[in-house]
Amino acid sequence: MVQKQEYLSKNQKIVLDHVEKANQPLKAYSILFNVQKKGLKAPLQVYRALDKLVEIGKIHKIESRNTFVACKNSNCVVSNATAFSICESCEKVTEINNSKLSKYLSNFEDNSGMKYSKYNLEFFGLCKKCKNK
């Protein structure tokens, strides 16, 4: 299997490393605060790294929350088909990895004749823990 190799720059590695270790979505300025000891001083340094990491699919942006989370799907190369479940109580976010869903959405066409190259889906509800409270 041929896999595209990604060389990450110093800042990109620092940011990705931090986001991967979090296991939950992080805000850009929280990332900034936490990587300042590694030399990243300004918001732009974080945002530029995030932009690139989102572009290559290593990180996804949770649009409704303005947060960033590491991709759990190891073979996710580009971020063109994303789905998340979001608990509206504890804000826990989980990436949904469901081939039926992704097939359905990737092939979706409406009557406008527009063919979609990308989608982002966010489900909201209460997670098991919060439902039982």
Partner DNA sequence: TAACGCATTGTTATATTATAACATTATTAT
Partner DNA sequence: ATAATAATGTTATAATATAACAATGCGTTA
* Min separation Cβ 81 and a second copy, Å: 10
List, in sequence order, every residue forming a beta bridge with 61; answer none if it has no partner: 68
Q: Which two tokens stand for residue 84?
A: 């998340």
Reference 64, options 22, 122, 125, 24; nearest CA is: 122
Q: How many residues bind DNA (CB under 7 A)?
A: 25
Residues in the chain: 133
Quick check: 96 binds a second copy (CB under 8 A)? yes
Look at residue 49 and give the partner it binds from a second copy, DNA, none, a contact being a CB closer than 5 to 8 Å depending on partner kind.
DNA
Both structure tokens of 18: 């931090």
List 8, 28, 76, 126, residue binding a second copy (CB under 8 A): 126
Structure tokens at 53: 């990491």
Binding site for a second copy (CB under 8 A): 63-64, 85, 87-88, 94, 96, 98, 101, 104-105, 108, 110, 112-128
